[in-house]
Structure formats: structure tokens, C-alpha cells
Amino acid sequence: MTNKNIVYKPIDPEIGKLAQLHGGKQEATLEVLKFLDAAKKLNPITIYETARALHIPAHEAYGMATFYSMLSLEERKKVLRVCDGPVCWLKRATSYREQKSTIDEWASMVNDQWSVERTSCLGLCDRAPAVLVENEQAGPVEAKETAKVCEGWRGVQTDYSIPRKGEVRVMTALIGKVDPDNINSALEHGLYDGLKKALQAESIAVLAEVESSGLQGRGGAGFPVGRKWRFVANEKRTPRYIVCNADESEPLIFKDRVLMDTNPHQLLEGMTIAGYACGASEAWIYIRGEYEYQARRLERAIQQAKENNLLGENILGSGFSFKIHVHRGAGAYICGEETALIESLEGKRGEPRLRPPYPPTYGFRGQPTAVNNVESFCAVPNIVKNGADWWRNLTDDSTPGTKVYTILGHVNNPGLFEAPFGLTLRQIINDFGGGMISGSTFKFALCGGAAGTIVDESLLDIPINFASSQNGISLGAGSFLICDQTVSPVAFLRELLHFFAAESCGKCTPCRVGTWRSLEILNRLASGQGQHGDTDELKTLAAIMQDSSFCGLGQSVPIPMKSVMTHFGAEFAEAEK
């Protein structure tokens, strides 16, 4: 029997319409919440209505709304997000942890139409100090330039069109030559030639060519791309999916942003070839929410590719169909971990999954999924077009091909360059970074990214590749932050732990508690209030996080911790006194 006294309230029509526009399923959760946040309408009532419209429990929608840093249930005006990542700190954007708060300084200079918030690394390390003005990227920007920023000034973008001496350009070869917003320019410069060649061959032959090239994933782990694709292709279950990890949220790393910015069609071409090789017909680019400018550029490129029959149905009459979607994140470093990314893509909190099963067998929507980062996909068209042997012959190192590197800090020529593997840190500093700036002497470098190794001068001449971590110096994503004698290793490690503590998803206790406890100790040591036994406790915490954290975030935090205490143990001991 039906109780006639029960009154069912209709779903808010605006939210219901928005939910249907994005598919009406749980996967649309983040898109709906981001729209409500942008409209200044994100609150418990609209979150509940979102849950009803998408047929999910209210607590899951609320969990999403409180998980991502770019969403807020608080009433906000226009938002100015000030980066407090380690590179911006090195540029003195966040020296507030020793002096006056930079956030307070910025807040005192904006009018009542703006609110000021801190944010983790914005992926604008080559434009540090950096800020996000609503969704617009700006830098280099100092607090004294607040008024200009609020009025529309966005700083100066870095120009990478002129190669540095010694570069071997492949993925970056067309920077400054191709118009990123014009597919005709892309076609004139040979883009999509690799796809055309691939479609004339059997998919298994394309897969074999990529496998033979020895291409390793450029996100940091270095897993063979062809092997991953073969796992997906060999799965009998369909549909299969391709996912591009463009959630470039780790400090020091901005190469994928530059690749998407300067040549978006190269990425689309690589993903389409991957789809053909793996037997997939649909793909997603998961791009961090702070990269709105790049997301729009990708969407324009996708539309242009569709209009030229390079995406969509029956591409170039081959019988192969392929779609690419752009999915924006909303501020969560953990979504760079591939299973957390997939969870987010499915409309859930971006928390890592237990593995196995791995994405190639059980990924997006529980189907076989190949997840690679931007640089990996950008290498593929060049390999298919020129052949695996050509790719292998680009370097004398055991690791085939070229790598897009970034160098930052106290060097004369910071920025981005492309070169073969096997470079030493001394070569990176002197040959590609222009040497140390005047008055500076090398003290240490953070190698690979925020989760990389911190090394001293004893490792300046070790060739760097995916295997060099065994010798104490990591390649990671190919990023290097060079610090001179003015930088305290203790204070610098504190900045890294500030980032990790802020970005831990909180799912497991070792990472959630270990990062904050380490930060507490480092705050004490860096402020001259260290206590006997602090360094020993940091070593214990590092061991616990490495051994028992649920995912790679917590497991990798100990890498910089252990390495810096190994090379600069005396300075940590001094800080305890």
C-alpha cells in the first residue's frame, strides 16, 4: 500500500537539469558541484539536491564537496589563490612561516570583492611566485602587485620556442612553430601523420612498435608503455578505455602543462593511437582544475579534430571510431595517483584503491583501462611515424628516447628543456641551466619532484635515468630544484612536508598522521626550538610511512626525508640543540 500522507518534494529544477546535462549518473557529481561552487550556490541544501538528482547517498555528495580544495561550502567572493609550494617559497612568496603571513599581506591589499586563500603548488613553477585569479593563471606576481592582478594583469608567460644548446627536441619540437589553436597549422607541421600511418597497419603491429621502442611512462614510475597497453589489449572484456593523467599537481613539475599549451593536437593524436592499439573507442583527459586555460584549449582542439574526421566516427574512413572527453578535477594532488584519479572520474572522493586488481584489468567503470600521462602519449606519434629504432637511437643511454626536463631554483636559466637520458646533475645545472647564479654555490638539489631525492655535491656526476635511484639520485618526472648555500635543508624539508600534509587524502593513518607529525617536528627544528631526539623520530616516522602507507603518496614522502637526513645529518643534529 502507498501512504498517501507522504509528500515527495521535486528535485530542484536547476540542479536536475544540470545533472541530466552531464549524464544523470554518479560520474557527473564533480561537474555539478563545480558549477554550483562557481555560481556561489554550494551549500548543504544544494549538495543534498545533487545527491537526489544523481541517485547517490547524500553523504557521498557531501564527501565530494568537502574533499576537493577548489570547492568551498563557505560564502566566498572572487577568489585569489596564493601558491605556497616549495618553488614559490624559494622565490620568497611564502616566507610567512618565518615572518609575516603572505596570505595576510595579500588580503590586506585586496578590496572587499576578493577573498584570499592559500593553495598547494599550481603547476606554474616556471612563473613563481604564482597565483590563481579565480580560474586564471598569473605569475610571476609579488604581493605589491595585487592591485594590477585584480585589474587583469597576469604577469609574463615563459617562452620555450628557442631550444637551448644541446637539446634534442621531439615532443617539444614544434613549440613556437605550430599554432595550438589552429588544426590547419598542426596538419601543415605533420601532426596526425603518425595516426594516419597507424590506421594503415594492424592494431597489433602498432602495439608491437610501441613495445619495441622501449618507451617508459614519463609520469615518474617508468613502467613500459607498450607492456601496459598489451595488458589492456589482451583483456577480452569490452569496452576498454584510455585515460590521460593530466593532473600535474606535484611541485617542480609543469612539463605536461607546457606540452598541452603549445601543441594539444600531439596529445590527442597519441591518445587516439593508443585507443587503436588497445581496442578502445573512448578516452578521458583528467586535467587538474587549476589548468582551466589548458582544458579549454584541449576542448577546442578536440572539436577541430572532430570537424576534420580525426576524432569521432569512422576516422579517415578506417572503420575505427574514437572519442575523447576532458574532465576537470577540483584540487587534489592525490588524484595524480592513477586509481584515485579513476575514483574521481567515477564521481567519488579521489582516494586510492587497493591493488590488485590494476587498471589494465579493472579500471574505469570496472573495465580494462590504460592510464598514461601527457608526456607519454605525446611521445607515441613520433615513435609510430619514425619507428622504434629511430627512437632508441636518440640516446646513448640504456633508457631509450628523450625526456622533457624542468630545472628551477638558483640557476641562471631556469625552465624547461628536452634531452636524452643519462645526463648528470652537473650537466643539467651547467649545460642546460646556465650554471649557478652569481654569488651562489651549489648546496643541494631536489631531484625528480617533491617525492624525489635531496642530494648533495657528492652525486653531481651520477648519470640519471629510471635506474639511478639505486645510486641515490632519482629521475622521477625529470624535475630538478637547485638550491644554494642560503637555503637550509631543514627548512626546505619542512616546506615539502607542509605540502604532503596538506595534500594527504587522509585515508590511511600512517600518511595522515605521519605527515602532520613530521611537519610539527620540522616546524620546531626550523624555528630554532628543536629537541633532542627529533631527528630520530623523523627517521622512525619515515620508516613507518614507507612500510605501511596505503598508496604511493605516503610511501614516497620518506624518500626526501631519508635522503636529506643522510646528506645533511649534521645540520639536523645542530637544529636539535
Return the CATH number at 557. 1.20.1440.230
CA 534 → CA 59, 83, 233, distances in Å?
40, 29, 51
Q: Tell whether 411 and 453 lie within a shared domain.
A: yes
Q: Is 103 in contact with 110 (CB distance < 8 Å)?
A: no
Position of cell 614559490? Answer: 88
| CATH number of the domain that residue 117 is part of | 3.40.30.10
d(CA 542, CA 465): 25
Task: Tell me the three state secondary structure of residue 132.
Answer: strand
Select from 367, 392, 417 the last residue of a domain: 392
Q: Tell whether 268 and 375 lie within a shared domain.
A: yes
Q: Tell whether 478 and 494 lie within a shared domain.
A: no
Select from 444, 468, 484 the last residue of a domain: 484
What tens digit of pLDDT does each residue of 217-231 get? 998 888 999 999 999
Q: What is the pTM of this model?
A: 0.95
Q: Tell whether 213 and 303 lie within a shared domain.
A: yes
Q: Tell whether 275 and 128 lie within a shared domain.
A: no
Select from 454, 484, 514 the last residue of a domain: 484
167 is a domain residue: no
Q: Tell whether 364 and 421 lie within a shared domain.
A: no
d(CA 130, CA 465): 30
Q: Provide the residue-wise pLDDT of the chain in tens; the chain has 577 residues.
A: 455 666 578 899 999 999 999 999 999 999 999 999 999 999 999 999 999 999 999 999 999 999 999 999 988 889 999 999 999 999 874 444 443 456 777 777 888 889 899 999 999 999 999 999 999 999 999 888 888 999 999 999 999 999 999 999 999 999 999 999 999 999 999 999 999 999 999 999 999 999 999 999 998 888 999 999 999 999 999 999 999 999 999 999 999 999 999 999 999 999 999 999 999 999 999 999 999 999 999 999 999 999 999 999 999 999 999 999 999 999 999 999 999 999 999 999 999 999 999 999 999 999 999 999 999 999 999 999 999 999 999 998 889 999 999 999 999 999 999 999 999 999 999 999 999 999 999 999 999 999 999 999 999 999 999 999 999 999 999 999 999 999 999 999 999 999 999 999 999 999 999 999 999 999 999 999 999 999 999 999 999 999 999 998 889 999 999 999 999 999 999 999 7
The whole domain housing 258 covers 183-392
Strand order across the beta sheet in which 78-83 lies: 114-119, 78-83, 131-133, 136-138
d(CA 367, CA 22): 21
d(CA 443, CA 481): 11
**How many other CB atoms sit within 10 Å of the CB of residue 107?**
17
Q: Is 411 in contact with 253 (CB distance < 8 Å)?
A: no
C-alpha grid cell for residue 474?
Answer: 632519482
**pLDDT of the residue at 146:** 86
What tens digit of pLDDT does each residue of 160-201 get? 999 999 999 999 999 999 999 999 999 999 999 999 999 999
d(CA 559, CA 565): 10
| Residues sharing a CB contact under 8 Å with residue 429, sequence separation 6 or more, in sequence order | 407, 411, 435, 436, 442, 445, 460, 480, 482
Q: Which segments within 211-342 are labelled E, that is strand?
A: 241-246, 282-287, 323-328
